[in-house]
């Protein structure tokens, strides 16, 4: 059996340059031995679990959708505003919700204390993200390096022959 205690899991902090986006997270699956680059499901795990905290006045990240990933959320504390194609919905402790591939979403702290939740994701290899507000895409190169691109629609064979 693999076991960790949350107090022993390293907290990672990420914030955008101007401070609109920010979060603290504990990647529980990695602490339990998940190897995100492995193709072996016993090393990669069939899902990923993280504990995330969004500070007052911040959003986790821009409005986006995943091409292949599904995410399940369980709110622990605080108050969040969840944006999706239908608008915004307020969530609080005990609420659960999910998004599948192609379902754009954004999580924002809508209260005065940290918005804290668990997220379980299947993290499939080859996933990419689309950011509808800016027209950008996030894709991953070999070695898990993220590349953000913004382009225009073109013909399939453009530049190929």
Of the candidates 128, 86, 129, 79, the residue with the CA atom closest to the CA atom of residue 107: 79
Look at residue 91 and tell me whether its pLDDT is greater than 70. yes
Question: What is the model's pLDDT at position 142?
Answer: 66
Ordered by where they begin, the domains of the chain are 6-126 (2.60.120.10)
Look at residue 16 and tell me whether its pLDDT is greater than 90. yes
Place of tokens 């999910």: 98
pLDDT digits (tens, 9 = 90+) for 26-80: 999 999 988 877 777 677 778 899 999 999 999 999 999 999 999 999 999 999 9
Of the candidates 130, 14, 9, the residue with the CA atom closest to the CA atom of residue 63: 130
Give the Cα separation of 89 and 114 in Å (integer): 17
Are 137 and 148 contacting, i.e. CB atoms less than 8 angstroms apart? yes
Ramachandran sector of residue 102 (left: φ over 0; alpha: ψ -120 to 50; beta: rest)? left
Question: Which strand (E) or helix (H) includes residue 44?
Answer: helix 41-44
Question: What is the model's pLDDT at position 143?
Answer: 60
């Amino acid at each position: 059996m693999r076991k960790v205690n949350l107090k022993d899991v390293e907290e990672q902090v990420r914030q955008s340059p101007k401070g609109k986006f920010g979060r603290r997270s504990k990647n529980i699956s990695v602490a339990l031995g998940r190897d995100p680059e492995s193709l072996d499901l016993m090393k990669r795990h069939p899902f990923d679990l993280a504990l995330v905290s969004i500070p007052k006045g911040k959003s986790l990240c821009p409005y986006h959708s995943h091409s292949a990933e599904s995410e399940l959320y369980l709110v622990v504390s605080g108050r969040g505003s969840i944006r999706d194609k239908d608008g915004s919905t307020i969530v609080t402790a005990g609420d659960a919700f999910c998004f599948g591939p192609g379902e754009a979403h954004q999580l924002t702290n809508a209260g005065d204390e940290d918005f804290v939740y668990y997220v379980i994701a299947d993290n499939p290899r080859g996933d990419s993200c689309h950011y509808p507000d800016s027209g950008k895409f996030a894709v991953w190169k070999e070695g898990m390096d993220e590349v953000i691109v913004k382009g225009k629609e073109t013909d399939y064979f453009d530049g190929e022959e």
